[in-house]
Structure 1
C-alpha cells in the first residue's frame, strides 16, 4: 500500500492543474503522479472538499492526453470488455478487491469521511465504472496495484513514459 503522505502541491502545480482542468482544482492534498516532464498527471484530493462536500475520488486523473485516452477507451466499449474479464476471473477479482482496499487506505490517511466509508472509485471492488479513476489509481500507486487500471493504461494510446505536454491543447 502507498499510505505515505504526499508532499503538498506547489503554486506551479496548482497553476498547471488549473490549465489542465480549465478551473481551479479543489481540495488538493498533493500530486500523486507526474508526467516525465514533471507536470501533474494525477492529483490527490481531500476526501472532504473545502465546502464540506464528501469526495470519494481521492486520485483524480488530470493530464489532458491521459484523460482523452481513457475517454477513447470508454467510447470503444473497453469498460465492457474489462468488466467481462473481471466477472470471469477469480484472480482478477481478488486483485481488484486488494486495489479497492489500497485506495481506501491511501485516502484514509487524509481523513475519515463517514458519508463515503467503504466507497472507493471507478466501480471498485466489483464493477468497472470509470477508466479515468482506475487509471489515476494505477498511476498513483504504481504497476501491479490496480489491475484494471493497469490494463486500461496498457490498452491506451497515452503513455506515462512519453511527454506530450508541449503539444497544442495540452498543459505545460
Structure 2
C-alpha cells in the first residue's frame, strides 16, 4: 500500500523544525500524523535541494516515537528481529515486499542513481534502524512492514495516544 501524503503546511514545517531542532529540507508531504494532528512521519525528496542523495523517504520526526525507537534499539532487539527474518520465510517475504513498496513510493518523486535499490532500515535482508522501519510502518499502515509493525508493538509509544509537547487539538 502506498502512503497517502498530505501537504506540509507552514505550521507543519514549524512543528517539525521544533521536533528535529533544524529546518526541514526537501519535504514532499506528511506521511503520518499524531492523533492531535502534528506530523509524526515526513516524506522527503530522494535528492535534497543541495543535491545530496537522501534514501530515507519516510523520516520519523515525532520526539516521543523517536525516543521509544531509541530505547527499543538499546535493548538489542534488532538482533532478535534479524534472527526472525532468517527463521521465518513469511516474514522475510513480507519484509522484501516492504522494501519494494518503499522503493516504489520514493521513485514517484524521482530516481537517484546513487541510492538505486537502497531503501531504509536494513531492508530487505537485515534490521538496522528501527526509526526508519517504524516510520515506514506508520506511513504505509499496518501489515506492510512486518518489522516496523513489531517495533511499534514492542515500543512504549503508541500512535493512538498523543505525546506531543504542544498538541494541536485536545487528544
Shorter-normalised TM-score: what interval? over 0.9
Counterparts of 1:83 and 1:34, CA distance in 2: 28
1:23-69: CA deviation from partner (whole Å, max 9, x where unpaired) = 01111110000000000000000000000000000000000000000
Which residue is 1:115 aligned to? 114
- Moved beyond 6 Å, runs of 4+: none
- Separation (CA, whole Å) in 1 of partners of 2:53 and 2:135: 19
1:70 corresponds to 2:80: no
Determine if the alignment matches structure 1 residue 19 to structure 2 residue 18. yes
Matches within 5 A, 1:1-172: 1-2=1-2, 6-166=5-165
Is 1:45–1:60's contact at 8 Å kept on the other side of the alignment?
yes
C-alpha RMSD over aligned residues? 1.3
* Distance in structure 1 (CA, Å) of the matches to 2:24 and 2:122: 23
Cα distance in 2, alignment partners of residues 121 and 155 from structure 1 = 20
Q: Tell me which moved more, 132-141 or 76-85.
A: 76-85
Q: Return 5+ residue gaps in structure 2 as ranges.
A: none
Q: TM-score, normalized by length of structure 1?
A: 0.94
SS of the counterpart of 1:70? helix
Is 1:87–1:93's contact at 8 Å kept on the other side of the alignment? yes
Q: How many residues matched?
A: 168
8 Å contact 1:19–1:171 — kept in the other structure?
no
- In structure 1, runs of 5+ residues without a counterpart are none
Aligned-pair CA distance for 1:87? 1.0
Deviation at 1:132, TM superposition (A): 0.1
In 2, Cα distance between equivalents of 1:161 and 1:54? 33
What is the distance in 1 between the residues matched to 2:167 and 2:15? 6
Query: Does structure 2 retain, via aligned residues, the 8 Å contact 1:61–1:67?
Result: yes
